[in-house]
């Protein structure tokens, strides 16, 4: 999967980077993938935990989960810390700076802080007791803060513009704002929407709300949870047709129950129940997902009707571009050799990070 589409080629790697892309037959020491395909490694910009671990409750488990994510094709991720006690965010920053020795797993690209400045009308699975309009700039301006999700109508536009000026991706989410509020935030520098449709006002023909504002703004990317639960496949098809290539981002919003049997699991300060299909709070509110990125890609291809190139780009190229990371998300000379080998049904066969096989391997 090259920047222009699918093509037969030999991809040469050295010292963790792609050094060249050559015609078939150029090299002698080639691993022939046969009917399988080579794609850029997936980048998950919103994942709250997995395999029994919740990043907000236990930030140190970022690395344990990261070591297992390559099995799902994820070569880099932005651990998400949701609303909780103030000390939680600082503990997460410390944990993200303390990579274990000889760590082999998905790269941690910084943190995604979802909250605490969220709308009380659309808290989702965030504990209302910890919601606040006090902007924690000491946390949000930390160099490891890559994404901040907020109800942008609750802050002054200067907060958004200051964060954007420092390279922080400001995302609109868990909002009760209007079409006009959303456009004001985008004008100030917000450029992403967290899990479109979920935890925000719906589209109404006389009150279009933030969803329509995002879809109409060519500088804004929209994150979706493509599991067939959070958003209907038909609506995702409509969104993909509306935004076109380069603006749709597949994310998992996975929580501790991902990869685990049904049962009760932490969601920050709260507890939710997994029935093996979805996660819900006791009142029936959806609480993240148990989706993996490889399943998200297959759903976009098989149920939404995206081409494989479009679906894979939404999980790799576009999220990397959102983060301003030119080293990931594409197969081209100079890019990191973060790669995933997919079989004909788009299941993950092998994952490489920096040219090193960390999951699977050639027969």
Per the structure, the complete domain to which residue 259 belongs is given by: 40-326
Q: Which residues contact 27 (CB under 8 A, 6 or more apart)?
A: 10, 12
The answer to whether residue 22 is catalytic is no
Q: Is 12 among the domain residues?
A: no
Q: Kindly report, residue by residue over 293-335, the tens digit of the pLDDT.
A: 999 999 999 999 999 999 999 999 999 999 999 999 999 999 9
Task: Give me the catalytic one of 253, 294, 338, 345.
Answer: 253
In a domain, 98, yes or no: yes
310: phi then psi, degrees, rounded to nearest 5: -65, -45
Cα separation, 151 vs 332, whole angstroms = 37
DSSP assignment of 183-199: HHHHHHT--EESSTTTT
Q: What's the domain count of the chain? A: 1
Per-residue pLDDT reduced to its tens digit, 312-322: 999 999 999 99
Residue 76 lies in a domain: yes
Chain-centre distance of CA 35, in angstroms?
28
pTM of this prediction? 0.96
What CATH code is carried by the domain that includes residue 161?
A: 3.20.20.140
Q: Which residues of the chain have pLDDT under 50?
A: none
**According to the model, what pLDDT value does residue 2 have?**
61
Measured between alpha carbons, how far is residue 30 from residues 15, 20, 132, 331 in Å?
Answer: 17, 13, 56, 17
Other beta carbons within 10 Å of 71:
16
- For position 6, what pLDDT does the model report? 76
């Amino acid at each position: 999967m090259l920047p222009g589409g699918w093509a037969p080629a030999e991809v040469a790697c050295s010292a963790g980077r792609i050094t060249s892309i050559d015609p078939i037959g150029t090299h002698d020491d080639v691993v022939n993938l046969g009917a399988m395909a080579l794609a850029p490694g997936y980048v998950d910009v919103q994942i709250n935990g997995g395999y029994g671990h919740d990043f907000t409750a236990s930030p140190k488990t970022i690395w344990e989960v990261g070591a297992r994510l390559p099995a799902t094709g994820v070569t880099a991720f932005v651990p998400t810390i949701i609303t909780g006690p103030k000390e939680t965010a600082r503990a997460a920053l410390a944990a993200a700076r303390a990579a274990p020795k000889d760590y082999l797993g998905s790269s941690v690209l910084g943190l995604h802080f979802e909250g605490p400045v969220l709308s009380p009308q659309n808290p989702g699975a965030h504990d209302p007791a910890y919601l606040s309009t006090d902007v924690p700039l000491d946390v949000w301006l930390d160099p490891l803060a890559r994404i901040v999700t907020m109800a942008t109508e609750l802050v002054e536009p200067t907060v958004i513009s200051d964060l954007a000026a420092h390279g922080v991706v400001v995302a609109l989410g868990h909002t009760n704002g209007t079409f006009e509020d959303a456009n004001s935030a985008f004008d100030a520098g917000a450029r992403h929407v967290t899990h479109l449709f979920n935890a925000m006002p719906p589209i109404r023909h006389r009150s279009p709300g933030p969803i329509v504002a995002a879809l109409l703004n060519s500088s804004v990317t929209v994150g979706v949870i493509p599991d067939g639960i959070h958003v209907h496949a038909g609506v995702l098809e409509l969104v993909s047709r509306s935004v076109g290539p380069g603006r749709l981002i597949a994310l998992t919003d996975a929580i501790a129950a991902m990869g685990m049997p049904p049962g009760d699991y932490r969601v920050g300060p709260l507890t939710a129940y997994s029935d093996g299909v979805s996660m819900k709070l006791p009142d029936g509110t959806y609480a993240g997902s148990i989706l993996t990125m490889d399943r998200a890609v297959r759903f976009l291809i098989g149920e939404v009707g995206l081409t494989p190139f479009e679906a894979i780009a939404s999980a790799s190229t576009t999220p990397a571009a959102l983060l301003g990371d030119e080293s990931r998300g594409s197969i081209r000379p100079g890019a990191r050799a973060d790669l995933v080998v997919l079989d004909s049904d788009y299941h993950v066969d092998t994952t490489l990070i920096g040219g090193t096989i960390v999951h699977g391997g050639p027969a």
